[in-house]
Each structure stands twice: as structure tokens, then as C-alpha cells.
Amino acid sequence: YQRRVRADIQNVDSLFITSIKSLSNIDKSGVNAESFSNVIPIEKFHIQNSNGSLQPIIPGGQDIKLTFENRKVFASWALKFRMEECEEQIAAVLEGISSIVPAPLFRFMTGDALESWVCGKPEIDLHLLQKIVRYRDMDKTHYLVVWFWRIVGRFTNEDRVALMRFVSGRSRLPNDIADVSQRFQIMKTDKSKDGLPTSQTCFFQLRLPDYSSEIIMEERLRYAIHNCRSIDADNYMLARNVENNSQGSFEDGII
């Protein structure tokens, strides 16, 4: 895999990069050897690691005094330390990803391409969603189905991601239809007319009551996908079911 560079650290810790740049160029702010210690609070060659603990950036760094003269050496070592401090964790992540994507292929891929391959595209592909749908108790000509696809066609990608989370608990679809392990189900329920839709994330299922108009359906659907929080309570429900020794099921997406 590619070695990390300064820009990588900038993406996750811009304050750190700004700090070491300011330290290296502090003479341009009028600071000299005499005033350096009054301005810079760091005394030795150590910095806080990602856990918040002080750690030497070079062997014996806790005994090396930071001065105006060696500040650029300090900045160079601090950057190297920050780029290499998570080597063990990155190796573990690399091992895991390599079980999905052969590691030799990494050199031919950008970070965005790898993310897309492993996680799917951040944009919800409406055509792919339509290819994997299965209807229950109605077909593609039913007015609720026609309305649904027109509504989703007007959705922004943010809305479609919210819809995906509501019906599946996920925010992305696989890139390839061959990687889809479960069909998207849309079914009609006999619940009160113009009520809120419900879902079962375990089954990738959307349940629609009857609606008197497309406008009302869109209002109810938008409200449900952006306000339902029951998905985030799954662990709570699991714990409660275990406590009550319950073997029943529940609808994940009910408001």
C-alpha cells in the first residue's frame, strides 16, 4: 500500500499540521532564541500521541530540550512519528481488507476506488434498486408502486441514503448486482390509510399502507426515513428481549 504523506495527516489532524508549520516558521513571526521558550509550551522532544499520552518522538526524546535552533528537527521527527504511530493498526486493517480484495491489486487502485469496491458507491443507484426489487401483494403497475418510484426519483442522494438506512440498516448498495445478497421487498399492508410506512431491516423490506394521494405518500415517506430512530435501538431491544426471555420479533423501522 502507499506510504502515508503529509496530506494524509492533514486530512485527519489539520491542527497538528498547522502547529508544526507554525513552529518551523516561527522566526517569521518575530520570535527568536531568547523569546522562544516563552512562546512555545513544549519543552522536550515528545508530543501527545493519538491516545492523549505524552510519548517521545525519538529514542530519549524526553531528555532532549526543544530550542529555537532545533525546532525544525523537532517538527520533522514529530511528523514522522505521527505518520507511523498507527502502523500496527493499519497492518490489521490491511489484513482484513486483503481478505476481500487481493493486496497486490492495491497498487493499481486509488483510495476512492478501493472504498467503492469494498463499501459500495456513496451514491444510491436507483436503476440497480429497481432491478433487485420484489413486490408482494401488488405488482409494478400498482399505483402505490408507481408513486413510490416517482417519489424516489425526486429524492436527493441524501434522501435515498436515508431510505436505504430505513429499509435495510445500510447506507450503500454493492457496485455489482451480482453482489446483492437480498432482494428489496415492497409490500402493501392493511394499516390505517395515509399512515406512516414501516420497514423490516432484516428482510430489506418496505411496508406501505394505502395512500389517498402521491403528495401525502411522499410526505409520510420523507418523515419516516428522516425521523425513525428505532434502527439505532436494536441493541437495546435485543437486551430487553433476552432479559424477558422473549423469542418474538419486532419491526425495526416502526416510528
Looking only at the bridges linking them, the beta strands covering 133-136 and 184-188 are parallel
**If you search the block for the grid coordinates 500521541, which residue do you land on?**
49
Candidates 221, 179, 214; CA nearest to 198 is 221
119 is catalytic: no
Beta carbons within 8 Å of 192's beta carbon, 6+ residues apart:
209
Three-state DSSP at 195 gives: coil
How far CA 185 is from CA of 49, 200, 225, in Å, comes to 48, 10, 16
How many alpha carbons fall within 13 Å on the CB side of residue 238?
Answer: 5
Catalytic choice (86, 119, 202, 228): 202
Which distant-in-sequence residues (6+ apart) come within 8 Å of 34 by Cβ?
none
Owner of C-alpha cell 420497514: 199
The DSSP bridge partners found for residue 198 are: 207
Contact 183, 134 (CB under 8 A): yes
Residues facing residue 134 across a β-bridge: 185
Q: How far is 93 from 1, CA to CA, in rounded Å? A: 12
Please identify every residue annotated as catalytic: 202
